[in-house]
Amino acid sequence: MIEIDPLRKAAAEVLRRNDRGEFTAPSPRQYPHLWLWDAGFTALGWAALGDFERAYREVRAALRGQWRNGMLPHVVFYGWPSAYFPGADLWRSDLAPEAPTDLPTSGITQPPVLGFVIQILFQHDPDRQRASAFAREAFPALRAYHRWLHTARDPEGIGLSRIVHPWESGMDNSPLWDAPLSRVQTEGLPPYQRADVHWVHEEQRPRSIEYDRFLALILHLRSHRYGESSVRSSPFRVYDVLFNALRHRSEEALFVMAQALGEPTGEIEEWLERSRAAFQTRLWDPEIGFFLDWDCGTDRRIPVIAAGGLVALYAGLATPDQAKEMVDRHLRNPKAFAPNGGTRYLVPTVSKADPGWEPRRYWRGPIWINLNALIAHGLARYGFHELAEEIHRHTLALIAQSGFHEYYDPRTGEGLGIGDFTWSAALLLGWDLLSG
Ligand code: GLC
Protein backbone atom coordinates (compact mmCIF):
# COMPACT_ATOMS: atom_id res chain seq x y z
CA MET A 1 0.00 0.00 0.00
CA ILE A 2 1.46 3.34 -1.08
CA GLU A 3 1.23 6.20 1.39
CA ILE A 4 -0.08 9.21 -0.47
CA ASP A 5 0.60 11.99 2.06
CA PRO A 6 4.41 11.95 1.82
CA LEU A 7 4.08 11.94 -1.98
CA ARG A 8 1.82 14.98 -1.85
CA LYS A 9 4.24 16.77 0.39
CA ALA A 10 7.13 16.00 -1.95
CA ALA A 11 5.06 17.11 -4.95
CA ALA A 12 4.27 20.45 -3.32
CA GLU A 13 7.99 20.92 -2.72
CA VAL A 14 8.76 20.31 -6.40
CA LEU A 15 6.21 22.95 -7.40
CA ARG A 16 7.66 25.45 -4.94
CA ARG A 17 11.23 24.76 -6.03
CA ASN A 18 10.36 25.21 -9.71
CA ASP A 19 8.27 28.33 -9.08
CA ARG A 20 9.93 31.33 -10.78
CA GLY A 21 7.32 33.78 -9.44
CA GLU A 22 5.86 34.80 -12.79
CA PHE A 23 5.51 31.20 -13.98
CA THR A 24 6.57 27.69 -12.97
CA ALA A 25 9.42 26.19 -15.00
CA PRO A 26 8.80 22.58 -16.13
CA SER A 27 12.38 22.05 -14.96
CA PRO A 28 14.59 25.04 -14.12
CA ARG A 29 17.61 23.30 -15.66
CA GLN A 30 16.21 21.52 -18.73
CA TYR A 31 13.18 23.74 -19.53
CA PRO A 32 13.72 27.14 -17.90
CA HIS A 33 10.86 29.01 -19.68
CA LEU A 34 7.06 28.66 -19.86
CA TRP A 35 5.58 25.82 -21.92
CA LEU A 36 1.91 26.00 -22.86
CA TRP A 37 0.46 22.64 -21.88
CA ASP A 38 2.80 22.37 -18.90
CA ALA A 39 1.31 25.65 -17.63
CA GLY A 40 -2.18 24.11 -17.78
CA PHE A 41 -1.22 21.00 -15.80
CA THR A 42 0.80 23.09 -13.38
CA ALA A 43 -2.16 25.36 -12.68
CA LEU A 44 -4.12 22.26 -11.60
CA GLY A 45 -1.33 21.42 -9.17
CA TRP A 46 -1.46 24.88 -7.59
CA ALA A 47 -5.25 24.66 -7.39
CA ALA A 48 -5.03 21.27 -5.68
CA LEU A 49 -2.83 22.94 -3.06
CA GLY A 50 -5.61 25.48 -2.57
CA ASP A 51 -3.55 28.31 -4.09
CA PHE A 52 -5.98 29.55 -6.74
CA GLU A 53 -4.23 32.92 -7.02
CA ARG A 54 -1.06 31.09 -8.03
CA ALA A 55 -3.02 28.88 -10.45
CA TYR A 56 -4.50 31.96 -12.14
CA ARG A 57 -1.07 33.54 -12.35
CA GLU A 58 0.16 30.45 -14.22
CA VAL A 59 -2.65 30.68 -16.77
CA ARG A 60 -2.21 34.44 -17.12
CA ALA A 61 1.50 33.94 -17.78
CA ALA A 62 0.64 31.59 -20.66
CA LEU A 63 -2.00 33.97 -22.04
CA ARG A 64 0.48 36.88 -21.91
CA GLY A 65 2.28 35.24 -24.83
CA GLN A 66 -0.82 35.30 -27.06
CA TRP A 67 -0.34 36.55 -30.61
CA ARG A 68 -2.72 39.05 -32.18
CA ASN A 69 -4.07 36.33 -34.50
CA GLY A 70 -5.10 34.30 -31.43
CA MET A 71 -2.25 31.78 -31.36
CA LEU A 72 -0.94 30.74 -27.97
CA PRO A 73 2.75 29.95 -28.44
CA HIS A 74 4.23 26.74 -27.07
CA VAL A 75 7.08 28.56 -25.33
CA VAL A 76 7.00 32.01 -23.75
CA PHE A 77 10.57 33.05 -23.08
CA TYR A 78 10.24 34.50 -19.59
CA GLY A 79 13.73 34.74 -18.15
CA TRP A 80 15.41 34.85 -21.57
CA PRO A 81 18.39 34.70 -22.22
CA SER A 82 19.22 31.26 -20.86
CA ALA A 83 21.22 28.22 -21.92
CA TYR A 84 18.07 26.72 -23.50
CA PHE A 85 18.24 25.73 -27.16
CA PRO A 86 16.47 26.52 -29.48
CA GLY A 87 16.02 29.87 -27.79
CA ALA A 88 14.33 33.15 -28.66
CA ASP A 89 17.24 34.08 -30.93
CA LEU A 90 16.47 31.10 -33.16
CA TRP A 91 12.68 31.44 -33.12
CA ARG A 92 12.77 35.20 -33.85
CA SER A 93 9.10 35.84 -33.08
CA ASP A 94 9.90 39.51 -33.74
CA LEU A 95 9.76 38.66 -37.47
CA ALA A 96 6.04 37.89 -37.17
CA PRO A 97 3.77 40.95 -37.24
CA GLU A 98 1.25 39.21 -34.91
CA ALA A 99 3.69 38.36 -32.12
CA PRO A 100 3.90 40.35 -28.87
CA THR A 101 6.57 43.03 -29.13
CA ASP A 102 7.62 43.01 -25.48
CA LEU A 103 8.09 39.29 -24.83
CA PRO A 104 9.79 36.73 -27.10
CA THR A 105 7.92 33.49 -27.84
CA SER A 106 8.19 30.46 -30.10
CA GLY A 107 6.20 30.47 -33.35
CA ILE A 108 4.14 27.29 -32.92
CA THR A 109 1.54 26.10 -30.41
CA GLN A 110 1.00 23.04 -28.18
CA PRO A 111 -2.00 20.86 -27.17
CA PRO A 112 -4.94 23.12 -26.23
CA VAL A 113 -5.52 22.22 -22.59
CA LEU A 114 -6.21 25.67 -21.14
CA GLY A 115 -9.93 25.62 -22.03
CA PHE A 116 -10.70 22.72 -19.72
CA VAL A 117 -8.19 23.92 -17.16
CA ILE A 118 -9.96 27.26 -16.73
CA GLN A 119 -13.30 25.49 -16.40
CA ILE A 120 -11.87 23.25 -13.67
CA LEU A 121 -10.47 26.27 -11.83
CA PHE A 122 -13.80 28.08 -12.20
CA GLN A 123 -15.67 25.10 -10.81
CA HIS A 124 -13.45 24.49 -7.80
CA ASP A 125 -12.44 27.95 -6.61
CA PRO A 126 -14.29 28.47 -3.30
CA ASP A 127 -14.13 32.26 -3.80
CA ARG A 128 -16.96 32.59 -6.32
CA GLN A 129 -16.37 36.26 -7.06
CA ARG A 130 -12.73 35.66 -7.85
CA ALA A 131 -13.67 32.64 -9.95
CA SER A 132 -16.12 34.64 -12.08
CA ALA A 133 -13.72 37.54 -12.49
CA PHE A 134 -10.99 35.24 -13.74
CA ALA A 135 -13.33 33.35 -16.06
CA ARG A 136 -14.47 36.65 -17.59
CA GLU A 137 -10.88 37.70 -18.06
CA ALA A 138 -9.65 34.43 -19.63
CA PHE A 139 -12.64 33.42 -21.75
CA PRO A 140 -12.15 35.90 -24.67
CA ALA A 141 -8.48 34.93 -25.03
CA LEU A 142 -9.37 31.24 -25.11
CA ARG A 143 -12.17 31.80 -27.61
CA ALA A 144 -9.75 33.72 -29.86
CA TYR A 145 -7.24 30.86 -29.60
CA HIS A 146 -9.82 28.27 -30.59
CA ARG A 147 -11.02 30.45 -33.48
CA TRP A 148 -7.44 30.48 -34.73
CA LEU A 149 -7.27 26.69 -34.35
CA HIS A 150 -10.40 26.39 -36.48
CA THR A 151 -9.34 28.84 -39.19
CA ALA A 152 -5.57 29.21 -39.61
CA ARG A 153 -5.02 25.58 -38.64
CA ASP A 154 -7.92 24.14 -40.61
CA PRO A 155 -7.41 25.70 -44.03
CA GLU A 156 -9.50 23.00 -45.70
CA GLY A 157 -12.35 23.30 -43.22
CA ILE A 158 -12.46 19.61 -42.33
CA GLY A 159 -13.13 20.12 -38.62
CA LEU A 160 -9.63 19.21 -37.34
CA SER A 161 -6.59 21.41 -36.62
CA ARG A 162 -3.35 20.44 -38.25
CA ILE A 163 -0.03 20.57 -36.48
CA VAL A 164 2.96 21.75 -38.49
CA HIS A 165 5.77 20.65 -36.16
CA PRO A 166 6.04 17.51 -33.97
CA TRP A 167 6.60 19.79 -30.95
CA GLU A 168 3.04 21.07 -31.35
CA SER A 169 1.80 17.60 -30.35
CA GLY A 170 3.83 17.74 -27.15
CA MET A 171 5.12 14.25 -28.06
CA ASP A 172 8.29 15.37 -29.82
CA ASN A 173 9.84 12.18 -31.21
CA SER A 174 6.91 9.76 -31.24
CA PRO A 175 7.07 7.03 -33.93
CA LEU A 176 3.91 8.75 -35.19
CA TRP A 177 6.17 11.30 -36.87
CA ASP A 178 8.73 8.98 -38.44
CA ALA A 179 7.09 8.96 -41.87
CA PRO A 180 5.94 12.60 -42.11
CA LEU A 181 9.22 13.83 -40.62
CA SER A 182 11.27 11.85 -43.13
CA ARG A 183 10.08 14.27 -45.82
CA VAL A 184 11.73 17.25 -44.12
CA GLN A 185 14.94 18.23 -45.94
CA THR A 186 17.91 19.16 -43.80
CA GLU A 187 20.43 20.25 -46.43
CA GLY A 188 22.04 23.55 -45.66
CA LEU A 189 21.10 23.43 -41.97
CA PRO A 190 23.63 25.62 -40.14
CA PRO A 191 25.71 23.90 -37.45
CA TYR A 192 24.20 24.00 -33.96
CA GLN A 193 24.79 22.70 -30.45
CA ARG A 194 22.03 20.78 -28.68
CA ALA A 195 21.43 21.70 -25.03
CA ASP A 196 18.91 18.94 -24.21
CA VAL A 197 21.58 16.25 -23.88
CA HIS A 198 23.53 18.18 -21.26
CA TRP A 199 21.50 16.97 -18.26
CA VAL A 200 19.89 13.86 -19.77
CA HIS A 201 21.65 10.93 -21.43
CA GLU A 202 21.29 11.07 -25.18
CA GLU A 203 19.89 7.53 -25.36
CA GLN A 204 16.79 8.93 -23.60
CA ARG A 205 16.39 11.88 -25.97
CA PRO A 206 15.55 12.30 -29.69
CA ARG A 207 18.20 11.17 -32.17
CA SER A 208 20.25 13.79 -34.06
CA ILE A 209 18.52 13.08 -37.35
CA GLU A 210 15.20 13.98 -35.69
CA TYR A 211 16.70 17.04 -34.10
CA ASP A 212 18.02 18.22 -37.48
CA ARG A 213 14.53 17.90 -38.88
CA PHE A 214 12.95 19.69 -35.90
CA LEU A 215 15.27 22.62 -36.56
CA ALA A 216 14.88 22.58 -40.34
CA LEU A 217 11.12 22.79 -39.80
CA ILE A 218 11.48 25.79 -37.50
CA LEU A 219 13.60 27.53 -40.13
CA HIS A 220 10.97 26.77 -42.75
CA LEU A 221 8.14 28.16 -40.62
CA ARG A 222 10.26 31.16 -39.66
CA SER A 223 11.01 31.94 -43.31
CA HIS A 224 7.23 32.34 -43.71
CA ARG A 225 7.09 34.45 -40.53
CA TYR A 226 4.87 31.72 -39.05
CA GLY A 227 2.00 33.00 -41.19
CA GLU A 228 -0.72 31.16 -43.08
CA SER A 229 1.58 30.27 -45.96
CA SER A 230 3.74 28.29 -43.52
CA VAL A 231 0.70 26.23 -42.50
CA ARG A 232 -0.04 25.35 -46.12
CA SER A 233 3.53 24.76 -47.23
CA SER A 234 5.04 23.02 -44.20
CA PRO A 235 6.48 19.64 -45.23
CA PHE A 236 5.06 18.33 -41.92
CA ARG A 237 1.25 18.51 -41.69
CA VAL A 238 -0.67 16.12 -39.46
CA TYR A 239 -4.10 15.87 -37.85
CA ASP A 240 -3.09 14.48 -34.48
CA VAL A 241 -5.60 12.63 -32.31
CA LEU A 242 -4.23 13.82 -28.96
CA PHE A 243 -4.09 17.47 -30.06
CA ASN A 244 -7.59 17.47 -31.52
CA ALA A 245 -9.08 15.46 -28.66
CA LEU A 246 -7.78 18.01 -26.18
CA ARG A 247 -9.07 20.79 -28.41
CA HIS A 248 -12.50 19.15 -28.30
CA ARG A 249 -12.40 18.63 -24.53
CA SER A 250 -11.48 22.29 -24.12
CA GLU A 251 -14.35 23.33 -26.37
CA GLU A 252 -16.78 21.27 -24.30
CA ALA A 253 -15.48 23.34 -21.40
CA LEU A 254 -15.74 26.62 -23.30
CA PHE A 255 -19.35 25.77 -24.06
CA VAL A 256 -20.10 25.40 -20.35
CA MET A 257 -18.18 28.58 -19.59
CA ALA A 258 -20.01 30.52 -22.30
CA GLN A 259 -23.32 29.47 -20.77
CA ALA A 260 -22.19 30.47 -17.29
CA LEU A 261 -20.97 33.86 -18.55
CA GLY A 262 -23.98 34.57 -20.77
CA GLU A 263 -21.85 34.49 -23.94
CA PRO A 264 -23.16 33.14 -27.26
CA THR A 265 -22.66 29.39 -27.71
CA GLY A 266 -23.53 28.82 -31.40
CA GLU A 267 -19.98 28.98 -32.74
CA ILE A 268 -18.72 26.58 -30.09
CA GLU A 269 -21.55 24.12 -30.76
CA GLU A 270 -20.57 24.12 -34.40
CA TRP A 271 -16.93 23.39 -33.54
CA LEU A 272 -18.01 20.48 -31.37
CA GLU A 273 -20.22 18.99 -34.03
CA ARG A 274 -17.60 19.26 -36.73
CA SER A 275 -14.87 17.59 -34.74
CA ARG A 276 -17.19 14.79 -33.61
CA ALA A 277 -17.89 14.04 -37.27
CA ALA A 278 -14.25 14.30 -38.36
CA PHE A 279 -13.10 11.93 -35.62
CA GLN A 280 -15.51 9.34 -36.99
CA THR A 281 -14.92 9.80 -40.69
CA ARG A 282 -11.21 10.50 -40.74
CA LEU A 283 -9.44 9.37 -37.58
CA TRP A 284 -11.24 6.16 -36.56
CA ASP A 285 -9.66 3.15 -38.24
CA PRO A 286 -12.27 0.38 -38.32
CA GLU A 287 -9.76 -2.35 -39.16
CA ILE A 288 -7.29 -1.51 -36.44
CA GLY A 289 -10.04 -0.51 -34.02
CA PHE A 290 -8.26 2.64 -32.84
CA PHE A 291 -8.09 6.40 -33.49
CA LEU A 292 -5.06 7.10 -35.69
CA ASP A 293 -3.32 10.29 -36.77
CA TRP A 294 -3.76 11.54 -40.33
CA ASP A 295 -0.82 12.53 -42.53
CA CYS A 296 -1.88 15.38 -44.84
CA GLY A 297 1.22 14.72 -46.97
CA THR A 298 -0.03 11.29 -48.08
CA ASP A 299 -3.71 11.79 -47.24
CA ARG A 300 -3.70 8.60 -45.21
CA ARG A 301 -3.91 7.54 -41.59
CA ILE A 302 -0.58 6.86 -39.89
CA PRO A 303 -0.57 3.18 -38.81
CA VAL A 304 1.05 3.77 -35.41
CA ILE A 305 -0.90 2.87 -32.27
CA ALA A 306 0.03 5.53 -29.75
CA ALA A 307 -1.33 6.24 -26.26
CA GLY A 308 -2.51 9.64 -27.54
CA GLY A 309 -5.28 7.78 -29.40
CA LEU A 310 -6.79 6.77 -26.06
CA VAL A 311 -7.15 10.42 -25.08
CA ALA A 312 -10.13 10.56 -27.50
CA LEU A 313 -12.00 8.99 -24.56
CA TYR A 314 -11.26 12.00 -22.36
CA ALA A 315 -13.08 14.13 -24.92
CA GLY A 316 -16.01 11.70 -25.26
CA LEU A 317 -15.23 11.29 -28.96
CA ALA A 318 -15.60 7.50 -29.16
CA THR A 319 -18.85 5.58 -29.37
CA PRO A 320 -19.23 3.08 -26.49
CA ASP A 321 -18.40 0.27 -28.94
CA GLN A 322 -15.26 2.02 -30.13
CA ALA A 323 -14.17 2.62 -26.55
CA LYS A 324 -14.64 -1.07 -25.76
CA GLU A 325 -12.72 -2.10 -28.85
CA MET A 326 -9.78 0.19 -28.01
CA VAL A 327 -9.71 -1.17 -24.48
CA ASP A 328 -10.10 -4.86 -25.33
CA ARG A 329 -7.92 -5.03 -28.42
CA HIS A 330 -5.18 -2.63 -27.41
CA LEU A 331 -5.11 -1.28 -23.84
CA ARG A 332 -5.72 -4.67 -22.19
CA ASN A 333 -3.62 -6.51 -24.73
CA PRO A 334 -0.25 -7.58 -23.24
CA LYS A 335 1.29 -7.45 -26.71
CA ALA A 336 0.25 -3.80 -27.05
CA PHE A 337 -0.09 -1.64 -23.91
CA ALA A 338 -0.86 -3.99 -21.00
CA PRO A 339 1.81 -5.39 -18.67
CA ASN A 340 3.36 -8.72 -19.65
CA GLY A 341 6.61 -10.54 -18.86
CA GLY A 342 8.49 -7.55 -20.29
CA THR A 343 6.61 -4.52 -18.97
CA ARG A 344 5.09 -3.93 -15.54
CA TYR A 345 3.31 -0.59 -15.78
CA LEU A 346 0.59 1.23 -17.73
CA VAL A 347 0.51 3.13 -20.11
CA PRO A 348 3.54 3.04 -22.44
CA THR A 349 3.33 5.94 -24.93
CA VAL A 350 3.38 3.59 -27.88
CA SER A 351 2.10 0.05 -28.38
CA LYS A 352 4.85 -2.47 -27.76
CA ALA A 353 3.86 -4.10 -31.05
CA ASP A 354 5.02 -1.03 -32.95
CA PRO A 355 8.44 -1.52 -34.60
CA GLY A 356 9.38 2.01 -33.42
CA TRP A 357 8.84 1.11 -29.73
CA GLU A 358 11.82 2.03 -27.51
CA PRO A 359 11.10 1.79 -23.77
CA ARG A 360 13.70 4.35 -22.68
CA ARG A 361 13.59 6.96 -25.41
CA TYR A 362 11.40 9.96 -24.59
CA TRP A 363 8.06 9.69 -26.46
CA ARG A 364 8.80 6.36 -28.13
CA GLY A 365 7.73 4.04 -25.31
CA PRO A 366 8.22 5.38 -21.77
CA ILE A 367 5.29 6.30 -19.51
CA TRP A 368 4.36 9.97 -19.07
CA ILE A 369 2.23 11.07 -16.12
CA ASN A 370 0.10 13.55 -18.10
CA LEU A 371 -1.00 10.92 -20.60
CA ASN A 372 -1.75 8.48 -17.77
CA ALA A 373 -3.94 11.08 -16.09
CA LEU A 374 -5.86 11.94 -19.26
CA ILE A 375 -6.31 8.29 -20.25
CA ALA A 376 -7.49 7.26 -16.77
CA HIS A 377 -10.12 10.01 -16.71
CA GLY A 378 -11.19 9.12 -20.23
CA LEU A 379 -11.70 5.51 -19.17
CA ALA A 380 -13.75 6.64 -16.18
CA ARG A 381 -15.91 8.74 -18.53
CA TYR A 382 -16.80 5.50 -20.35
CA GLY A 383 -17.37 3.49 -17.18
CA PHE A 384 -14.05 1.58 -17.10
CA HIS A 385 -13.54 2.51 -13.46
CA GLU A 386 -11.33 -0.41 -12.49
CA LEU A 387 -8.92 0.18 -15.31
CA ALA A 388 -8.83 3.89 -14.47
CA GLU A 389 -7.97 2.99 -10.88
CA GLU A 390 -5.30 0.58 -12.04
CA ILE A 391 -3.62 3.34 -14.06
CA HIS A 392 -3.77 5.62 -11.03
CA ARG A 393 -2.18 2.92 -8.84
CA HIS A 394 0.57 2.32 -11.37
CA THR A 395 1.22 6.07 -11.56
CA LEU A 396 1.55 6.32 -7.79
CA ALA A 397 3.83 3.28 -7.74
CA LEU A 398 6.12 4.82 -10.36
CA ILE A 399 6.36 8.06 -8.41
CA ALA A 400 6.84 6.27 -5.08
CA GLN A 401 9.65 4.22 -6.60
CA SER A 402 11.44 6.83 -8.68
CA GLY A 403 10.25 10.32 -7.76
CA PHE A 404 8.84 13.00 -10.04
CA HIS A 405 10.60 12.14 -13.23
CA GLU A 406 9.85 13.38 -16.69
CA TYR A 407 9.09 9.81 -17.89
CA TYR A 408 9.51 6.23 -16.75
CA ASP A 409 10.70 2.91 -18.16
CA PRO A 410 7.55 0.73 -18.37
CA ARG A 411 9.60 -2.43 -17.71
CA THR A 412 11.36 -1.40 -14.51
CA GLY A 413 9.69 1.83 -13.38
CA GLU A 414 13.08 3.56 -13.51
CA GLY A 415 12.77 7.36 -13.72
CA LEU A 416 14.10 8.78 -17.00
CA GLY A 417 14.73 12.22 -18.43
CA ILE A 418 15.03 15.13 -16.03
CA GLY A 419 14.10 14.79 -12.33
CA ASP A 420 11.84 17.08 -10.27
CA PHE A 421 9.63 17.52 -13.31
CA THR A 422 6.78 19.93 -12.65
CA TRP A 423 3.77 18.31 -14.33
CA SER A 424 4.51 14.90 -12.77
CA ALA A 425 4.22 16.61 -9.37
CA ALA A 426 1.31 18.85 -10.36
CA LEU A 427 -0.77 15.95 -11.66
CA LEU A 428 -0.13 13.77 -8.66
CA LEU A 429 -1.71 16.62 -6.70
CA GLY A 430 -4.38 17.58 -9.23
CA TRP A 431 -5.28 14.09 -10.51
CA ASP A 432 -8.89 14.12 -9.27
CA LEU A 433 -9.52 17.62 -10.62
CA LEU A 434 -9.30 16.29 -14.16
CA SER A 435 -12.66 14.59 -13.72
CA GLY A 436 -14.22 18.01 -14.42
C1 GLC B 1 9.39 18.49 -23.86
C2 GLC B 1 8.10 17.70 -24.02
C3 GLC B 1 6.92 18.66 -24.12
C4 GLC B 1 6.93 19.58 -22.90
C5 GLC B 1 8.27 20.28 -22.75
C6 GLC B 1 8.40 21.04 -21.45
O7 GLC B 1 9.64 19.25 -25.01
O8 GLC B 1 8.15 16.87 -25.12
O9 GLC B 1 5.72 17.95 -24.20
O10 GLC B 1 5.92 20.50 -22.99
O11 GLC B 1 9.30 19.34 -22.76
O12 GLC B 1 8.17 20.21 -20.37
Helix (H, G, I), strand (E, B) or coil at 280: helix
CA 205, CA 207: separation in Å to the nearest integer? 6
Closest ligand 1 atom to the C-alpha of 362?
Answer: 8
Q: What dihedral do alpha carbons 302, 307, 308, 312 form, nearest 10°?
A: 100
Is any atom of ligand 1 closer than 6 Å to the C-beta of 295?
Answer: no
DSSP state of 376: H
Radius of gyration of the chain (CA): 20
- pLDDT attached to residue 341: 87
DSSP 151-194: TTT-TT-SS-PEESSGGGGT-TT-GGGHHHHTT---TTPPP---
Is any atom of ligand 1 closer than 6 Å to the C-beta of 35?
Answer: yes
CA 47, CA 370: separation in Å to the nearest integer? 16
DSSP 79-126: T-S-S-SS-HHHH-GGGSTTS-SSS-B-SS-----HHHHHHHHHHH-S
- pLDDT attached to residue 2: 87
- pLDDT attached to residue 344: 98
Q: Determine the number of helices (DSSP H) and then strands (DSSP E) in the chain.
A: 15, 10
Closest ligand 1 atom to the C-alpha of 423?
Answer: 12
Q: What angle do CA 16, 55, 269 make, to 5 degrees?
A: 145
Identity of the amino acid at 218: I
**Residue whose CA is closest, atom 11 of ligand 1?**
31
Q: What is the mean pLDDT of each run of 10 residues along the chain (436 residues)?
A: 93 98 97 99 98 98 98 98 97 98 98 98 98 98 98 96 98 98 96 94 96 98 96 96 99 98 98 98 98 98 98 98 98 98 96 97 98 99 98 98 98 98 98 94
**Residue whose CA is closest, atom 4 of ligand 1?**
170
**Residue whose CA is closest, atom 9 of ligand 1?**
170
Is any atom of ligand 1 closer than 6 Å to the C-beta of 206?
Answer: no
CA 222, CA 358: separation in Å to the nearest integer? 32
Residues marked as catalytic: 172, 406
CA 155 remoteness from chain centre: 22
CA 383, CA 14: separation in Å to the nearest integer? 33
Closest of 61, 104, 60, 63 to residue 86, by C-alpha: 104
Helix (H, G, I), strand (E, B) or coil at 290: strand
For residue 201, how many other CB atoms are within 10 A of its CB?
A: 10
Closest ligand 1 atom to the C-alpha of 172?
Answer: 8
- pLDDT attached to residue 1: 78
pTM comes to: 0.99
